Amino acid sequence: MNNFSFQNPTRIHFGKGQIAAIANEIPADAKVLITYGGGSIKKNGTLDQVLEALKSHTVLQFGGIEPNPSYETLMEAVELARKENIDFLLAVGGGSVIDGTKFIAAAIHFEGNPWSILSEGAALGKVVPAGNVLTLPATGSESNCGAVVTRRETKDKLAFLNPAVYPKFAVLDPETTYSLPQGQSANGVVDAFVHTMEQYLTVRDNAHMQDRYAEGQLLTLISEGPKVLKTPEDYGVRSTIMWTANQALNGLIGQGVPHDWSTHMIGHELTAMHGIDHAQTLAIVLPSLMQKMRDQKAPKILQYAERVWDIQEGSDEERISLAIEKTRNFFESMGVKTSLSDYGVGEADIPALISQLERHGMTALGEGKNITLDVSKAILTGAL
């Protein structure tokens, strides 16, 4: 196991009625900017609960943050926050709103070009404190220090990581997720599954505890994921999914072990260039990546095959193939398609995707830093 130092400072308030807890989390004299997306929080009653909890606070609102939040829109919020001297941000929504709000928090007092926060990982000065009310379990953004922002003009979808943007608190009330369209519920399950895989499916490293956590999460998503589609208002199922998606990317399972984020990095280019949902891109890339990297990852895929899919028989090659097939079938069973052609992307589109990876420096991905542009091309070709 590798050395690590770990602290996750985000306080979680989990369960029914917990939105009320934000009243005590935000200083009484703070001037608060509530940030949100396209309006789902107005329709499902979440915004009303937030406003009720903050009835003694000074509150402004900024709506319209898009899925895959755009730099252009976020900079409008930055301008508003500067003009109004905002000193606390409250994101209410899914990963896009929470990510976008992390960027806003970092950009308000940033001296220089705020895009450099993303393009160069620029050091941050004063960051405005932020909390969130999560309405879409998927990204883990509610209690991690990462954010992904897209610049529409150049189709650059870039991430930044900085401990200064850890949310101060996150409210996870499973009832806010009842209103999710089926496709978004499914996306959330797939995103959490792939986050777990990318911190697990690397090399066998005597990290037994991390492996068992990861396998527990994968098994939970496989058993509970389909239920969320059949019984969307089952509180128990929604709770399990919400907590599992949080655990998949709150930092814990990734401590001390190698990672392989290549599925995400290739997936981000697919979203930026073709508008494919984040989780859909992962469902396209991961099975093909497992196939291309099957020799390097063989020991870990065999462990995954046995412990997660209970594959006990056959040669090593047969068990690896079956584990990849079961992974793909799981995504398809959630209604998330796994081929590029399902989304209208063909062979002719691959060179431009590879150029974008090159432009973004994504030329040596994976735990062995050997997913070069040629390998990424083979992964995309294998996903046609």
Q: How far apart (Å, rounded) are the C-alpha atoms in residues 97 and 74?
A: 10
Structure tokens given for 365: 């991905």
Cβ proximity to ligand NZQ: between 265 and 320 the closer is 265
CA distances from 243 to 15, 36, 144, 192 (A): 10, 22, 14, 10
For the bound state, the minimum distance from the C-beta of residue 299 to ligand NZQ, rounded and expressed in Å, comes to: 26
Stretch in the footprint of Zn ion (CB under 5 A) among 112-120, 185-193, 227-235, 284-292: 185-193
Nearer to ligand NZQ, 54 or 242 (CB): 242
**Could you tell me the smallest distance in angstroms from the CB atom of residue 39 to ligand NZQ?**
5
Residues 6 or more apart in contact with residue 20 via CB below 8 angstroms: 49, 52, 53
Q: How far is CA 44 from the centre of its chain?
A: 22
CB 93 within 8 Å of CB 42: no
353, interface contact from ligand NZQ, Zn ion, none, CB < 5-8 Å by kind: none
Contacted entry of ligand NZQ, Zn ion, none for residue 336, CB cut-off 5 to 8 Å set by kind: none
Query: Tokens 């985000």 belong to which residue?
Result: 10
Distances (CA, A) of 280 to 71, 151, 226, 340: 22, 20, 16, 10
Minimum distance from residue 245 beta carbon to ligand NZQ (Å): 9
Identify the DSSP state of 365.
B
Residue from 156, 173, 175, 191 binding Zn ion (CB under 5 A): 191
Do residues 264 and 362 make contact, with C-beta atoms less than 8 angstroms apart? no
The distance of closest approach from Cβ of residue 364 to ligand NZQ in the complex, given in angstroms and rounded to an integer, is: 20
Q: How far is the CB of 232 from Zn ion (least distance, A)?
A: 22
96 binds, among ligand NZQ, Zn ion, none (CB under 5 to 8 A by kind): ligand NZQ
d(CA 283, CA 322): 17
The site for ligand NZQ (CB under 6 A) is made up of 37-41, 44, 67-68, 93-97, 99, 135-136, 138-141, 144, 146-148, 176-177, 179-180, 184, 187, 191, 249, 264, 278
Give 100 or 321: the residue with its C-beta nearer to ligand NZQ. Answer: 100
DSSP 176: G
Among residues 162 and 333, whose Cβ is nearest to ligand NZQ? 162
Residue 187 or 220 having the CB closest to ligand NZQ: 187
| 133 or 265: CB nearest Zn ion | 265
Nearer to ligand NZQ, 67 or 287 (CB): 67
Counting runs of H as helices and runs of E as strands, what totals does the chain give?
15, 8
Minimal distance, residue 193 CB to Zn ion, in Å = 10
- Residues 243, 172 contacting (CB under 8 angstroms): yes
- Per CB under 5 A, residues contacting Zn ion are 191
